[in-house]
Structures are given as C-alpha cells and as structure tokens.
C-alpha cells in the first residue's frame, strides 16, 4: 500500500509531531456537542456514553443532549430514581454504566461539595472513573496535562512505533500508556488528545488506513499498518435463543416483566419462557441482536399465561417504560399492528 516515507521519530521530535497533529486537528476537527463545553459533568456523561458505543449511535439518536436535558447537573442525576435514569439511558445498553454514573455524581456531591476535583488521584478515587476517564476529564474539562488512551489512540501509537506486541495484555498496555505519556502535549491537552483520537477514528482507522491523508505520516515507523495493532484472539461468539410472550387482555393491557437482580435490573421486557414452555405456541416475531459475546435470536409467541413477577401494563403506559432496545423494537412493532 502507498504510505509516506518515515522521516522522524515522534519521541525524538516530539514538538514537531505535536504541532503537526494539533495543526491538522484545529483545521479539520468535527463538531461534537461534548466539544462545545468544558463542564466536567457533561464531559463525564459523554465519556461514559462513548464507552462501548459508537459516536454515530450517540449522535444519531440524540442520547447525549437528551440525557443532559433530563439530568442537567450532578445534583439532578444524584437524585434520579431508577425508572427515570434507565428511561433516559434507554437504547445505549450496558445499563450498569448509567447507575455507576449516578454513583459518581453522588460521590462528587458528598465528598467534593458538588464540584469535580481536578487532581488525578482524586478523580481516580471516584466510583466508575478509571485512568482513561480521569485523563479525559483532566484534558477536556480542565485543560490540564493528561494521558488519554482509548482504542483509537492505542492503534495510532502501535503503528507510529511499529509495536508488534499485543496491545491488550499487561506488557502491551504498559507500553501504549507509557508511550502515550511521553508523546502527550502538556500545553494543548484538549486539542492534542482530541486530535489523536480523531486521527484514529477518521484516518488511522482499523484495517487499511488512509496513510496518504495522515498529517503525521512522516513520523510513522510501520510499513504495514494494516497488520497492526496485534491483539489477543477474540472470544468465541455464542449463539443463544430467547423466547418471550406477547399477551394482551380484553382491556388492552400487555403482560410485561421487570428485571430484578440481573444485568438489566429495573428494565421492562416481555416475559421470557423456556423453549419447552412456548412449544406449540404461534410465533409472531423473530429478530436478532448481539450483546457482549452472544448473538441472540429473540422469538416472540402469542399465547401462554402469566407467571409470578409478571405485570399487566396499560397500553398508554407501555411505551413509557424503560426497555432494552431489542424488546422495545418488538413491542413498538406489535403495538403498531394492533
């Protein structure tokens, strides 16, 4: 593949590397709503949302602005009940993130009088805040020196330094984080770190990168970037079947079930049953979704009976419930067919 010739080691010519990256970013930066604020609360919300969720998803469905409308500050989020919190987070998945975000808000209030600390150790002491999130808060909210490494940054660094070790074991992570710290621009942390992340999103992307458009191509050592970064073997994906009931009574109420003590605690879904329990029932919907290392086939049947823990929900209240996205899509479709 065509690629600029390596000319300068980015660690030896650090200032030149930083200037090239920041100059490119400031001319070509994308306008994300979280880049329009330095409010640490808003920055935290964006960073938590973007964990395990694509930027296009967060932007396209308005999750970020909608959540801030519901909970504009740490005080409102700290006081949120589960129902309202999960409804505002609905569609993003990994609902534990929403609850941990609320715990962070409560700690900021109880231990820091509602003001986010700026010191790295104090940020790391907040629940749910790891070294990436702490670095992002220091850089993007406070404009302070930081080290910020996400998947995009790890990929860029592995290619810049032609690092052939796997980046997701302890030694690889140490190399990436140590190198990121050596390369970081302490005077322009916002532009530098956002620029490095955007470089990975748009140009130094997974697979075959757009090397001819790279603003720091002259500092990149690897000759075969499409082979990097190296990672541990992927976890095997498991196929799973999920069976649910669609029941509506004469009053127009739909049978629903609220999860308790599980990953989706507090979320509503159609009641699920075993394959044996739905045997002989008529299937009215079939869809597929993925979650972590599972590919799930969700089949919905009409018929069956209520069981302990199931609840009849009035039709005008049904779509106001917080539901996992796969179940919401099914419910909205079936309601629309009535």
- pLDDT of 231 higher than 70: yes
When pLDDT is averaged across residues 81-109 and rounded to a whole number, the result is 95
Instruction: Kindly report the CATH number assigned to the domain that includes residue 264.
Output: 3.90.79.10
- Quote the CA–CA distance of 226 and 243 in Å, as a whole number: 41
- The mean pLDDT value of the chain amounts to 96
Residue finishing a domain among 174, 206, 227: 227
CA 69 to chain centre: 19
Work out how many domains the chain is built from and give that number. 2
Pairing of strands 294-302, 238-246: parallel
Residue finishing a domain among 227, 257, 281: 227
pLDDT for res 128: 94
pLDDT for res 264: 73
CB-based contact 94:52 (threshold 8 Å): yes
pLDDT for res 2: 87
215: CB partners within 8 A, 6+ apart: 20, 21, 23, 24, 199, 203
Instruction: Kindly report the CATH number assigned to the domain that includes residue 98.
Output: 1.10.340.30
- pLDDT of 49 higher than 90: yes
pLDDT for res 129: 97
pLDDT for res 75: 98
Tokens of 209: 């990168």
- pLDDT of 262 higher than 70: no
For the stretch 6-44, pLDDT in tens is 999 999 999 999 999 999 999 999 999 999 999 999 999
Report the b/e string of 260-292 with b at 16+ CB within 10 A.
Answer: eeeebebbbbbbbbeeebbeebeebbeeebeee
pLDDT for res 8: 97
For the stretch 174-191, pLDDT in tens is 999 999 999 999 999 999
Quote the Cα angle for 62-34-74, to 5°. 90
The verdict on 243 and 180 lying in the same domain is: no
Flag whether 9 is in a domain.
Answer: no
Higher pLDDT, 263 or 119: 119
Q: Which domain holds residue 163?
A: 14-227
Flag whether 178 is in a domain.
Answer: yes
- Place 235 in a pLDDT band, splitting at 50, 70 and 90: confident
When pLDDT is averaged across residues 110-130 and rounded to a whole number, the result is 98
Among 4-8, 193-197, 222-226, 289-293, name the one with the lowest average pLDDT.
Answer: 289-293
pLDDT for res 179: 98
The verdict on 107 and 139 lying in the same domain is: yes
pLDDT for res 338: 67
- Place 99 in a pLDDT band, splitting at 50, 70 and 90: very high
**3-class SS string, 256-288:** EEECCCCCCCCCEECCEECHHHHCCCEEEEEEE
The verdict on 216 and 135 lying in the same domain is: yes
CB-based contact 190:140 (threshold 8 Å): yes
- Quote the CA–CA distance of 84 and 61 in Å, as a whole number: 18
When pLDDT is averaged across residues 307-322 and rounded to a whole number, the result is 95
When pLDDT is averaged across residues 251-267 and rounded to a whole number, the result is 88
pLDDT for res 217: 97
Which residue is associated with the tokens 């002989």? 280
Residue finishing a domain among 227, 246, 276: 227
- Place 249 in a pLDDT band, splitting at 50, 70 and 90: very high
Catalytic residues: 47
pTM equals: 0.88
Flag whether 1 is in a domain.
Answer: no
- pLDDT of 211 higher than 80: yes
* 317: Cα within 13 Å, side-chain hemisphere: 12
Tokens of 30: 């994308």
Can you tell me whether residue 312 is helix, strand or coil?
A: strand
When pLDDT is averaged across residues 241-261 and rounded to a whole number, the result is 94
The verdict on 174 and 250 lying in the same domain is: no
When pLDDT is averaged across residues 278-304 and rounded to a whole number, the result is 95
């Amino acid at each position: 593949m065509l690629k600029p010739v390596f000319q300068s080691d980015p660690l030896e010519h650090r200032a030149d590397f930083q200037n090239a990256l920041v100059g490119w970013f400031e001319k070509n930066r994308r306008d994300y709503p979280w880049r329009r604020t330095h409010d640490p609360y808003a920055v935290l919300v964006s960073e938590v949302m973007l964990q395990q969720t694509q930027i296009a998803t967060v932007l396209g469905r308005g999750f970020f602005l909608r959540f801030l409308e519901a909970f504009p500050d740490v005080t409102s989020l700290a006081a949120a009940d589960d129902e309202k919190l999960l409804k505002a987070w609905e569609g993003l998945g990994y609902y534990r993130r929403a609850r941990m975000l609320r715990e962070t808000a409560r700690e900021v209030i109880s231990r820091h009088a509602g003001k986010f600390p700026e010191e790295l150790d104090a940020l790391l002491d907040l629940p749910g805040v790891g070294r990436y999130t702490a670095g992002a808060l220091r850089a993007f909210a406070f404009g302070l020196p930081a080290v910020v490494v996400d998947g995009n940054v790890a990929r860029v660094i592995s290619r810049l330094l032609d690092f052939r070790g796997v980046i997701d074991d302890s030694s690889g992570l140490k190399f990436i984080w140590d190198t990121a710290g050596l390369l970081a621009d302490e005077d322009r942390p916002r532009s530098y770190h956002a620029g490095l992340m955007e470089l990975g999103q748009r140009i130094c992307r997974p697979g075959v990168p757009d090397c001819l458009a790279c603003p720091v191509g002259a500092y990149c050592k690897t000759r075969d970037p499409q082979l990097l970064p190296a990672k541990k073997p992927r976890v095997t994906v498991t196929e799973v079947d999920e069976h649910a009931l669609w029941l509506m009574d004469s009053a127009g109420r739909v049978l629903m079930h609220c999860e308790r003590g599980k990953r989706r605690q507090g979320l509503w879904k159609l009641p699920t049953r075993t394959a044996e329990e739905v045997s002989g029932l008529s299937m009215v919907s079939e869809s597929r979704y993925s979650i972590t290392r599972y590919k799930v086939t969700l089949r919905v049947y009409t018929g069956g009976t209520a069981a302990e823990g199931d609840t009849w929900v009035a039709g005008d209240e049904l779509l106001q419930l917080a539901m996992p996205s796969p179940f919401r899509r099914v419910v909205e479709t079936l309601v629309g067919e009535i």
